[in-house]
Structure 1
Amino acid sequence: MSDVDTIIAANAAFYAAFAAGDFAALAELWADEETISCIHPGWPAIIGRTAVLGSWRDILKNPARPQIVCAEPQAIVAADQARVLCIELVEGTPLATTNYFKRIDGHWRLVHHQSSPIAQFLGETDDPANPGRSVH
């Protein structure tokens, strides 16, 4: 399996663990380093393994946690670092998301997750030369 395929699979495992509410599986995907970080939509930056995993534990414990679907994942691999750019659909609302991975002892582990709202889909953006006209 190529590194790109392995990264896409690791990314899918992250979303599967979230969907299942499986904190142990989700925690296993993160690097065991104090330099990991996370930015949830609307939250300040979270740094450090205890704080990052604590944020995920709290989200997973919430019975009203949203359903999240990962769409259009694209992996970029450079040596022992990789990132997946994707769209998270959170109950239908699109979020631009980046998941950074690092190869540690032969395994790809998350070192950063960031998700933020998308103002508009590109297909819905106004053409600056012709206000009111959509660009396609």
Structure 2
Amino acid sequence: MTSPVFTTALEAEAAFYDALARSDLDAMTQVWSDHDEVVCIHPDGARLVGLRAVLESWRQLFAGGARLTVSVSQRVTAGNSLLATHNVIEHVALPGDDRVPPPMIATNVYASGPRGWKMIMHHASPAPEMHHAGMHDGPRIVH
């Protein structure tokens, strides 16, 4: 199978969210760079480094085969002809689930190479105002 060539970081990002919505590991694999330095951090998850670990995490996530409803908003981008960073708000829900899912804040990083734009990092975290609401009695320490 020939991998698609994503001519922009936005094309790669659209393919990423499409693969996520369809729980399609083959499509997800085509989005990621094959370099060992790729990084993925799922919400409340550990840092995964290397393509093998990253793809295994997606395989496990997709094992149930659920089709997701995914929407992305408030995209903020920065970059140049070789590297692009996208920060987005993700809304991911299971079909038929009437609850409004808490938003996730995600940062996606793409690199341009001989085979087009590929994802090199995905980091998603629960939005602070929704994460552990009411569980902090004192001030929050950010860093």
2:28 corresponding residue in structure 1: 26
Shift of 1:78: 2.1
What is the SS of the residue equivalent to 2:10?
helix
Structure 2 spans left out of the alignment, 5+ residues: 1-6, 94-100, 131-143
Q: 1:108 aligns with which of 104, 117, 128?
A: 117
1:80 corresponding residue in structure 2: 82
Q: Aligned residues, how many? A: 117
More helix by share: 1
Shift of 1:65: 7.2
What is the SS of the residue equivalent to 2:103?
strand
Structure 1 spans left out of the alignment, 5+ residues: 122-136
Give the fraction of aligned pairs with identical amino acids, expressed as a percent: 31
**RMSD between superposed Cα atoms in Å:** 2.0
Q: 1:118 aligns with which of 99, 106, 127?
A: 127
What is the SS of the residue equivalent to 1:28?
helix
More strand by share: 1
Shift of 1:38: 0.5
Q: Distance in 2 between matches of 1:72 and 1:12?
A: 15
TM-score, normalising length from structure 2?
0.74
TM-score, normalising length from structure 1?
0.77
1:52 corresponding residue in structure 2: 54
Q: 2:70 aligns with which of 68, 71, 82?
A: 68
* Counterpart amino acid of residue 108 in structure 1: W
Shift of 1:103: 0.5
2:12 corresponding residue in structure 1: 10
Q: Please say if residues 76 and 86 of structure 2, whose CA atoms lie closer than 8 Å, have aligned partners that are also in contact.
A: yes
Q: Distance in 2 between matches of 1:67 and 1:58?
A: 18
Q: Distance in 2 between matches of 1:7 and 1:47?
A: 21
- The structure showing larger relative contact order (alpha-carbon pairs under 8 Å, at least 6 residues apart) is 2
What is the SS of the residue equivalent to 1:119?
coil
Q: Distance in 2 between matches of 1:24 and 1:66?
A: 16
2:92 corresponding residue in structure 1: 90
Q: Distance in 1 between matches of 2:81 and 2:108?
A: 16
Q: Distance in 1 between matches of 2:64 and 2:81?
A: 37
2:98 corresponding residue in structure 1: none
